[in-house]
Structures are given as structure tokens and as C-alpha cells.
Amino acid sequence: MSKVLIIGACGQIGTELILKLRSLYGNDNIIASDIKEGNEELMNSGPFETIDATDREAIVKAIEKHQVKEVYLMAAMLSATAEKYPIKGWDLNMDSLLIVLELAKDKYIDKLYWASSMAVFGPTSPKDSTPQATIMEPTTVYGISKLTGEHWCNYYHNRYGVDVRSIRYPGIISWKTLPGGGTTDYAVEIFYEAISSGKYESFLSEETTLPMMYMDDAIKATIGIMNAKAEDIKVRTSYNLSAMSFSPKELAEAIKNIIPEFEISYKPDSRQAIADSWTRSIDDSVARQDWKWQNDFDLNDMVETMIKSLRIKLSKTEAK
């Protein structure tokens, strides 16, 4: 088993990716790293290194110390935060990627995963069933950085033979770790409020339909693309991925099927413009064809699992 380093392990996806990889391949083979420590479960389950994703020397030191052969780069500044700090967002998202691409080129590691996003699509992209290859003119710093990164991945693969693989994540919904600074975060916050207060004020308007996915499917896809045969990975920019699309209104209706008294209101903020620039649904048939991707959770499966799991989590928090 090659040892794996996750950079950005304490984020929303990174936290659950670490735990899943450790359960599959053994705790000591999966090294977590982030600029700050993570939750108790992550920190107590295996090795951790404090690493700034833009610190090349720290990354090289961890690779050599643990004899790492695969890296997952999950660290990024997400859409809403990157609009507040454009240059910091660009620097983090780009510098971190170019460091690990160079390390792969120089054979420090054999295989690399890099998280892209549906944010690479913009207002001129087809809004429904957005194809794998289409017009891509993102209007957010996050989307610009992710689109640029995809082309760097493709360049390093074609020029240097780097085995880098990537997925364009939709909005990800999970209960273990809160998301940070995203435009799709409403779809996580709403569950906490539905359970704790019974009402939620959405920062996106009721008809804002966006591509979404339950965390377990995102983790399944991430590990699935990394375990696929190199010859099956025909797209070396990044793969479209999807499971469902819904609006805040549709999500609220699904929550009301379990919590009938739940009430939603709408007060769009600056994140509405970001969401309006994105697409409503994504065609991920190329991923389904190339490396046999398929999702397990639809909207009702996700809502049922989120409410059931969060009720347990929040009751334990209250008990403390």
C-alpha cells in the first residue's frame, strides 16, 4: 500500500476523505495535513502534519518523512471567501497546485488528486445538463482559479506524463464537518437550523437550482477515480460529476416531509450573484462511461440521512 498525504485534510471533504481512506487502507498509511489541527476523530485516528499548502519545503519534508507516493490536494479558498480576498484566493489555489504538480513531475510522488469544482462554469455555459466540454467563462476568482488549475493539470499530464486526476465537485452536503466559505453552504446550514430552531433564512433565493451531492458519494467518486486504471482516465483537465440538482425551495419541501413544522424564508445576499453565474444541472456521463461513476444518494436519501445523523450529533453536543 502506497502511503498517502492529504493536503487540506481538515476541510469539509478532506475530513471525511481521511476517515474513509484510513478505514480502507490502515490509519498509518494515510497522513493528514492542514494549516491547523482538525476534529478529535481525525486527530486521534492517525498521523497528522501541520502544513501550509503553499509551503513547498513542508510538503517535501512530509513526503520524505512518511515515504508518501500519492497526494490528494483538497486545500482551497472557496467561492464566497475568494470574492472577499481575490489575490489570497488565487495564490492559495494556484501556488498549492503548482507545487504538487512540480513534485509529481520531479518524481517525488507517483499519483496526484486535485479538487476542481462546478464553479469553472459561468454565465455563458449551458445552464442545464452542462456538458463535460463546453463554454467556460467563470466570473468568480474561485472559478477562474479552478479552470486555470484544470489546464495546468492537463499540461503536466501531456508534457511530463504526470498522473493527475480531478473532479469538478458540485455542492457537497455533509453532517460531520461544516463547510467553510462556499455558496452552496446553505444546503448544510439549513439542516442544523431545521433541527435546532425549526426555521432557516436562506441566503439564496427560493428558485436557485444548483448541482449538489451527498458527501458519501463525493468520497466514493474521489477514491474511485484514484483507483481507476490510468488508461481509463481520458479527461486530464477535470471530470464533471453530479448526483442531483435542487433549489432551496425543493430542499425545504423535502425537509418538511420529515419535519413538517419547518419554515424557510429567503434573504439573498452577495452569494446570490455567484450562484446565478453557475449552472443548474450537470451532465456527468463521461465520468460514468470512463471510470464507472454512479451516485448512491438522491435528494430524499440525502435528507433522511442528514436529519437522522445530525439529530444524533446535536443531541450528543447538547449532552456535553
Of residues 188 and 254, the one with the C-beta less far from ligand VAH: 188
Q: Out of 25, 72, 108, 142, pick the active-site residue.
A: 142
Q: Distance between CA 268 and CA 275 in Å, rounded?
A: 10
Of residues 121 and 262, the one with the C-beta less far from ligand VAH: 121
Look up 142 and say whether it is catalytic: yes
Of residues 54 and 116, the one with the C-beta less far from ligand VAH: 116
Q: Contact 107/40 with Cβ under 8 angstroms?
A: no
Of 45, 149, 46, nearest to 93 by C-alpha is 149
Please give the full DSSP string across 44-101, using - where no structure is assigned: TSS-EEE--TT-HHHHHHHHHHHTEEEEEE-----HHHHHHSHHHHHHHHHHHHHHHH
Least distance in Å: CB of 185 to ligand VAH?
6
Least distance in Å: CB of 304 to ligand VAH?
22
Residue 301 has a CB neighbour count (10 Å cut-off) of 16
Alpha-carbon distance values, 159 to 6, 56, 155, 156, 162 (Å) = 25, 22, 6, 5, 8
- In the block, residue with C-alpha cell 454565465: 123
Residue 98, φ and ψ in degrees, nearest 5: -65, -30
**142 half-sphere exposure, CB direction, 13 A CA radius:** 27
Alpha-carbon distance values, 233 to 103, 282, 308 (Å) = 21, 19, 36
Of residues 74 and 103, the one with the C-beta less far from ligand VAH: 74
Least distance in Å: CB of 93 to ligand VAH?
11
Least distance in Å: CB of 271 to ligand VAH?
8
Of residues 47 and 126, the one with the C-beta less far from ligand VAH: 126
- Residues forming contacts to ligand VAH in the complex (CB under 6 A) are 78-79, 117-119, 142, 169-171, 179, 182-184
Least distance in Å: CB of 57 to ligand VAH?
29
Q: Contact 214/173 with Cβ under 8 angstroms?
A: yes
Alpha-carbon distance values, 146 to 86, 93, 121, 178, 310 (Å) = 13, 8, 10, 22, 31
Q: Distance between CA 299 and CA 307 in Å, rounded?
A: 12
Q: Which residue is nearest to ligand VAH (CB)?
A: 182
Least distance in Å: CB of 203 to ligand VAH?
11
Of residues 8 and 170, the one with the C-beta less far from ligand VAH: 170
| Active-site amino acid positions | 142
